[in-house]
Amino acid sequence: MGTTMSSFPVYSFDNAIVRLPPVSVTQGLRAEDRGAPTHEGVGTEHRLYVEALQAAGVAVEVLPALEAFPDSLFVEDPALVFPEGAILLRPGAQSRFGETAAIEQVLRRRFDKVLSLPAPGFADGGDVLVTPDKVMIGLSDRTTQEGADALIALLAELGRKGVIVTTPPGVLHFKSDCSLLDASTMLATARLAASGVFDGLRVLLVPEGEEAAANALRVNERVFVGADYPRTAAMLEAEGYSVVRLPTGEIAKIDAGLSCMSLRWHS
């Protein structure tokens, strides 16, 4: 706490918060029915994810499961965390409304400054991409204009610049289609890159058919990539990145990816 924005890269983390998947995760939200995940399968993917964070040099706090909230292991949606403080969000799906209150005390224990997104707007952390010079907020079915406007004001209180961008039609979250690889490089789907939202940045396109791989996660010197996307992993390795392949087949059944399972920051 109290560290300036410029003292380390935005993908440099030494702390993370995760939440164990509840048995009810089999009832998690999904845009299309690709079959329900199993609790055991999600649990295995979550455990390997935590181990990968730890291997990358991150201290991980593991919160207990919340049976009342099937999607509660995706802790990135109800909150944002930065070295300067945390922001409690208002998830855009009704079944997730209570997740913010469930994580509030944890964040107040870990951060000196905790801000709250006011009603009536909604914003999901999955629509928020932090880059070195700005915080991109994608409008979607889960993040409204009112929520994005209010979030920009809260980000300003933390010394961060927020900008509103558009999520492609049919895409759940902005970060479903992109991730930050380094200070000047994005990994993105062709449909999102075509919107021009990353003009001025180097963009690597995920191979056709591996669109879900765009939700990768840069953690310190490593890039986590879904193990089901070998062409994307090979492309990133050829670009010189240290790739960690992680299974995501079960969480993908409930529209999730690698970024949403943790809240990460540098203390």
Backbone angles phi, psi at 191, to 5 degrees: -65, -35
Q: What angle do CA 51, 57, 60 make, to 5 degrees?
A: 55
d(CA 18, CA 5): 23
The sign of the dihedral angle between the CA atoms of 138, 103, 82, 261 is negative
> Which residue in 46, 173, 178, 266 is the catalytic one?
173
Q: How far is CA 82 from the centre of its chain?
A: 13
**Which two tokens mark 81?**
């965390």
Question: Which residues, 6 or more positions from 156, have their beta carbon under 8 angstroms from its beta carbon?
Answer: 162
Site of tokens 């996660």: 217
Distances in Å between the alpha carbon of 177 and those of 29, 52, 104, 255? 18, 22, 28, 12
Q: Classify residue 248 by its DSSP letter.
A: -
260 catalytic, yes or no? yes
d(CA 252, CA 138): 20
Amino acid in the structure at residue 22? P
> Which residue in 39, 46, 178, 260 is the catalytic one?
260
178 catalytic, yes or no? no
The sign of the dihedral angle between the CA atoms of 29, 124, 131, 265 is negative
Catalytic residue positions? 173, 260
